[in-house]
Amino acid sequence: MANILEKTIGSGVLYPIKLEQNSSGQTGWYPVTGTPDLILHNINSVIQYEIGSRIRQEDFGSRLWECIEEPNTQAQAFLVSQFVKQALTNWEDRIYFTKTELVRQGTKLTIIIHYNIKNTNFSDEISATYET
């Protein structure tokens, strides 16, 4: 399973960067390989980064800002799901987007994103909360 995760997920850095000691006792920043946390961190970046008002295909991020403050309706749920799916399709090709759920509590809107990691049986979710 570790080899599949290494090939599917790859390697990179987790944020925030943490200084750690390696086996030689040297302190530094070290990339990780094959951990699903790399995907979680990337999804979080994609969802939190807002595309500007002039949208181009190469723009990194999502269009969630366009509908976050709309009333809690089926239309909002549809837009959120479409914008999340579009952003993850463009920027995270290591996963299959499954679905989104919206939970509103007072002025807070929580978006729960469900996904599966390609080539594995691993499924997970990540949530983002917005103050509306």
Q: Indicate the domain borders of the chain.
A: 2-131
Q: What is the 3-state secondary structure (H, E, C) of the chain?
A: CHHHHHHHHCEECCCCCCCEECCCCCEECCCEECCCHHHHHHHHHHHHCECCCCCCCCCCCECHHHCCCCCCCHHHHHHHHHHHHHHHHHHCCCEEEEEEEEEEECCEEEEEEEEEECCCCCEEEEEEEEEC
pLDDT for position 95 = 97
> If you average pLDDT over residues 50-68, what whole number do you get?
75
Q: What pTM was estimated for this model as a whole?
A: 0.83
The CATH code that applies to domain 2-131 is 3.10.450.40
- Give the residue-averaged pLDDT of 23-30: 91
Q: Please indicate whether residue 91 or residue 51 has the higher confidence score (pLDDT).
A: 91
Residue 59 banded pLDDT, cuts 50, 70, 90? confident
What average pLDDT does the structure give for the chain?
89
Separation of first and last alpha carbons in the chain: 41
pLDDT at 70: 85
